[in-house]
Structure 1
Amino acid sequence: MARWEPGARERLVVAAVDLFTEQGYDATTVQQIAERAGVTKSTFFRHFTEKRELLVAGQEALSRLLAEGIAEAPDDASPLQAVAAGLERVSIAMGGPRNREFAPRLKAAVAASAELRERDALKSVSLAAAMTTALTARGVPDSTAAIAGELGVLAFKRGYAAWADGDGDGDLATYTLAALDELRTASAALG
């Protein structure tokens, strides 16, 4: 594959996750990732500042999609209904078969590395902040927006995991919205 072919960023992410899974995060070099992706090391650095950044590839897009979905929810939507609109927006965008196939490899790579688990946690914080900001822009009080944003992240993570592990035909949106409904019920039981 020539280095100038489109999709270098995506190929780099796939190559990195595969190498992280095969030989571990620490043992994987940027050079190996670039070679596996069929690009040069300088192409790697045009897309990412370091190998750890590969895990959060697309985080800005996820945050933007969540915020857009929340902003475009009907005016009378409750905070969790607005979060559901954001989850639906992001789930439609990333719920394709290629991501479903890729998810177990990503999960294994993250589970095997403390540094990647830390980066994944920071990604969750960022996504919650994006949802919280979008909700406060709708006039939702800060504490309510923060709780709804955290529930949204938890619903996305739970829905994504169930979707990736499932053999059913349901799409990612179905899984994330079901997870949000479960969390809504569970939070109501807190009293």
Structure 2
Amino acid sequence: MKGNAEVLNHGKNIVLIGFMGVGKTTIGQLVAEKLDWEFIDTDQEIERRHHMSIPAIFEQKGEAYFRKVERELIVDVCTKERQKVLSLGGGAYLQEEVRNACLSHGIVVFLDLSWENWKKRLPSIVHDRPLLKNKTLEEIKQLFEQRKQAYSQYHYRVVTDGLDPETVATRMMELIRGRNAK
């Protein structure tokens, strides 16, 4: 664990992964504030650069185009920049090139929320998530489970069930700094 505390001193990026709607952006912002690092939500950055929403990009240019842009952004930030906290879109980490860049050049933290707790968030997030539109709850659960398998490669995992964002951010920092977190 000693090496991980040193990683922070050398400015290795922190990358948050997890299913859409688990709180990566909120928690990432809190961690960035604690470290006084820049926060980048990759979906928001893509929207900013393309002057359109993610749903509009999916609709007008397709998912393949979106995934290409997403991959280029994440690999670029991971390999060329330091002292950033990145919140990845829920599907970004499924791409092997993204996963490899994050694991090699960053500290990957999986925010793990149970299906039962995630399901409670669905009404507030479904409207701006293209992959959730027109899907049954069973289809969404299948996507949730498939993606959870992809999220199995990480440096740290924080179970977020029943925790507020501040507590999750604090636990993350304790893990990364090599302290015992419960």
Return the structure number with greater strand share.
2
Q: Whose radius of gyration is greater, 1 or 2?
A: 1
